Each structure stands twice: as C-alpha cells, then as structure tokens.
Amino acid sequence: MKFSIGSNWRGLARAAMALCVLWLAGCTTYVQTQVTAFSNWNGTASDATRTYAFQRNGDQSNSIEQTTYETLVAMELSKYNFKQVPDASARYQVSLAYSVRGDLMTVRQPVYYDPWPMYGPYGRPFWGPWGGFGYGPWGPTGYVDQSFPVYIHALQIRMTDRSTGREVYKVTAVNSTDDASLYGAMPYLARSALADFPLGNGTVRTVTIPVDKNGGISNETAASSAPVPAKAE
C-alpha cells in the first residue's frame, strides 16, 4: 500500500535528506536510514507464539511488488524467530505501506579562482573561476548553489494482534538517495526498520548499513546511533 509522509513524518524526511548530502558528496560506502518506532510489545511472546501472516489491502492483493517486499520483511522477521503461517493460525498480522517521492536538494559549493591563465582561440590569456583548481593560498572566490534530484523512500511495518486487532508494533524507516528505485532501497529500509527488534516506544534513531563492493547490501552488522524520544511535528 502506498502512503504519503504526513506532517508527523516531515521532520524524519528532512533528516533523511540531510544525510543525503553525504551521499551526494561521494560517500557511497553506506546507507543511512531514519527509523521511528512505536511499541506496545509486552515482551512475553515465546518463540512458539511468534507466528504471523501478511495482511493485504486493496491493490496489494495480487501485487508482485507487494510479494517481493514481503519476502524481504519475512527474512528480517525470521532473525527474531518469527514464522510465517496461514492467516487462520497466525498470532499476528503484519501489514506494509511504502512510497517514494521525488524532491530537489540544493547544495552550496565553493568556486576557486585559477591563478594560471588559460588561452583563448587567438592565444590571448584569460582567467576565471574553475572548480577544482586554485587550491592553496588563494581560497574560494565565491559559492554557487547546485540542485540535485533526490528521492525519499519510506517503509512502514505495522503488527497487530490478530485476535483483538490491537496494534502492538509500528515502525517507519525513511532514507534518501538520487535513485528513484524503491526496489533498490527496500532491502535497506526493511533491515533498518527491524534492526534490534523490538525498539522501545517512541524511539527515533539513525541506522547505518554498509554497501558491499558490488553496490548491494553488505552482510556486516547494521550500526545505529543512540535512540532518542520521538517528537511529533
């Protein structure tokens, strides 16, 4: 199910875009994802009762995209001894919502003056600002604003008790890159959202996942910043 990042998540999206500045600067060895969790998990469920079934709504029913993302989430849930079973025998129902939204990010970059002349078509020297030249005592001569397309990817995972309909866990993961593909971002979103399950109620944190040499998700352990209380905006 597609969903929009509403007012409560705009601060999270802005934070994800701020992290994207590092990506645009060429730091592509990891992906950073902003995660917010709300939990009523009682912590008493044994491994035997950690059974679940995916719940689909509307156009998710026959969606290949939905099935693909469910497979990724199921892989992460299995790390915590969750077992996928038929809906009638599941203790929990798990629903997914996801979206991708395009935006523009403007980055201010320095312009350097090149002290060495360049020569025009008639052999006459001229000088001017040349990015990447003139490093040293001359310093930047000014700054220019450059805009880059960025895409905000979001995944929300919601777990409810099937017998009562009571929500027990909801987590939202948001990151930003210059790639419009939600499919490419989903492994990072799913892994970040369910890292260290279950998080405490109102947890907000940044999860960092390394990228392997082939550009895919690394098998290294995801690292996270210290959690802080969630703030609604």
CATH of the domain at 26: 3.30.160.670
Report yes or no on 29 lying in a domain.
yes
Whether residue 133 is contained in a domain is answered as: no
Greater pLDDT, 179 or 206: 206
> Tell me: the pLDDT tens digits for 73-126?
999 999 999 999 999 999 999 999 999 998 766 666 777 665 555 555 555 554
Residue 79 lies in a domain: yes
Q: Does residue 22 fall inside a structural domain?
A: yes
For residue 179, name the pLDDT band (cuts at 50, 70, 90).
Answer: confident
Q: Is residue 224 part of a domain?
A: yes
Beta strands in the chain (DSSP E): 30-39, 51-54, 83-84, 92-119, 125-129, 140-161, 167-177, 203-210, 223-224, 228-229
Does residue 16 form part of some domain? yes
CA 25 to chain centre: 17
Strands 92-119 and 83-84 come out as unpaired
pLDDT per position as a tens digit, 11-34 = 544 544 444 444 444 446 888 999
- Residue 106: exposure state from Cβ atoms within 10 A (0-12, 13-18, ≥19): exposed
Domain contains 135: no
Return the structure tokens found at 31.
Answer: 């992906």
The answer to whether position 2 is within a domain reads: no
Residue of 173, 195, 20, 202 whose CA lies nearest to 99: 173
Question: Which own/partner pairs from 132-139 qualify as long-range (CB within 8 Å, at least 24 positions apart)?
Answer: 138/112, 138/113, 139/112
State how many domains the chain has.
1
Predicted confidence at residue 169, as pLDDT, reads 97
Domain that holds residue 69: 7-106+146-229
pTM (predicted TM-score): 0.72
